[in-house]
Amino acid sequence: MRVVEIRDRFGLDHLIAGERPDPQPGPGEVLVRLRAASLNYRDLLMVRGQYNPRQPLPLIPGSDGAGAVEAIGPGVNRVTVGDRVCPIFAQRWLAGEPDRQRLRSTLGGPLDGTFAERIVVAQEGLVHTPAHLSDLEAACLPCAAVTAYNALVTEGGLTAGQTVLLQGTGGVSIFALQIARALGARAIITSSSEAKLERARQLGAWACLNYRQEPRWAKRVLELTGSHGVDLVVEVGGAGTLAQSLKAVRIGGRIALIGVLSGVTSELALTSILMRRVRIQGIMVGHRDSFEALNRLLEVHQIRPVIDRSFPLAEARGALEWMAGGSHFGKIALSI
Ligand SMILES: NC(=O)c1ccc[n+]([C@@H]2O[C@H](COP(=O)([O-])OP(=O)(O)OC[C@H]3O[C@@H](n4cnc5c(N)ncnc54)[C@H](OP(=O)(O)O)[C@@H]3O)[C@@H](O)[C@H]2O)c1
């Protein structure tokens, strides 16, 4: 089968198109013919050797994919040949709290991922694809959409009438915007680009703030919410934005800490957390139960992922460079 792999050295220059033998499903396993994959920021970091410099090579990157069941091993009863499916990101995290072993079962490192024509996974490590989505659209779900759902619903407890602050217009934040709208919540979104903010407005954002023009956007969030603050922040900025998020969140509000795009370490006044009873929850994508709940929500509301651009598998490097350039809105996908 055709694959794209990090063969013996990290770096975009060493991401190589190659061939591997077709994998065969063993007992309890499923062979999936992948038709699409999508990119996540972690894939870029993985290829550059910045996510886990000790990751053994070669590695097939790619955390997200979608396709159809091509063959099943003995004892498989959750899926049948021809079913349209998505492998879940953390293969062994099905429900409840994860442990170290479940969090180490992730595709695209440490396990081989989805930049390939075929993948074998345990039958538990799959969900059925929502019927209204194409494979390209479904391939956008396993990391970014599950993360957004987990941050808003499973961990965030966001309800109708509440207000959520979203940062940037990348894959996670645009899914969070679509989910917040479906839940009947108000979304305030930030971006570096007026054109992207206009697109977010068209998708239903209640208020839009340009974080380049207005780096201290928390003040505006308080004005917009009658000095109350937002109920929940979807924090993808990290060190550079957390201080603003702490000012923008209401007393007793929540911050879903997802990304560290603007840095990993920061100096914060801890009193702003304790005096205002703010809860900061680290998010690591989510379990299979969250993925299945997300899919039900997507079907009921007929929500389709926003795909900025798609590339053929062989151009995975160009797709990752497109992501690094940061001009995308929503997801970047690969057709296989
Ligand atoms: N913890 C988890 O489970 C999990 C899961 C998925 C992703 N993540 C992390 O979450 C982050 C976003 O992932 P993604 O897949 O959505 O990435 P992405 O599609 O590449 O989106 C990144 C977007 O973030 C915005 N951004 C960059 N710097 C920012 C800043 N200082 N303040 C506000 N927004 C900023 C930019 O939006 P504009 O162009 O609009 O300015 C950029 O387009 C990454 O750090 C990723 O590693 C974590």
pLDDT of residue 95: 98
pLDDT value of position 26: 98
How many C-alpha atoms does 50 have within 13 Å on its Cβ side?
9
| Ligand 1 centroid distance, CA of 326 (Å) | 9
Instruction: Please tell me the distance from the alpha carbon of residue 108 to that of residue 173, in angstroms, as a whole number.
Output: 21
Q: Which of 116, 88, 151 is CA-nearest to residue 287?
A: 88
> What are the start and end residues of each CATH 3.90.180.10 domain in the chain?
2-141+286-335
Q: How far is it, in rounded angstroms, from Cα 320 to Cα 333?
A: 10
The residue whose CA is least distant from atom 6 of ligand 1 is 144
The domain 2-141+286-335 is placed in CATH, from the list 2.40.10.10, 3.40.470.10, 3.90.180.10, 3.20.20.70, at 3.90.180.10
- Exposed, middle or buried, 322 (CB in 10 Å: 0-12/13-18/19+)? middle
Q: Which of 64, 261, 332 to mutate to test the pocket of ligand 1 (most atoms within 8 A of CB)?
A: 261
pLDDT at position 180 is 98
Q: Which CATH superfamily is domain 156-282 in?
A: NAD(P)-binding Rossmann-like Domain (3.40.50.720)
Using CB distances shorter than 6 Å, the residues near ligand 1 are 40-42, 143-144, 147, 167-173, 190-193, 196, 211, 236-237, 240-241, 258-262, 283-285, 323, 326
Number of neighbouring beta carbons within 10 Å of residue 226: 7
Whole-angstrom distance, CA of residue 225 vs CA of residue 247: 12
Paired tokens of 291: 């993925």
CATH 3.40.50.720 spans which residues of the chain?
156-282
State percent of the chain over pLDDT 90.
100
Walk across the sheet containing 249-257 and list its strands: 207-210, 186-191, 163-167, 230-235, 249-257, 279-282
Confidence (pTM):
0.98
Give the model's pLDDT for residue 50.
95
Pocket test for ligand 1, best of 147, 197, 236 (most atoms within 8 A of CB): 236
Q: Which residues of the chain have pLDDT under 50?
A: none
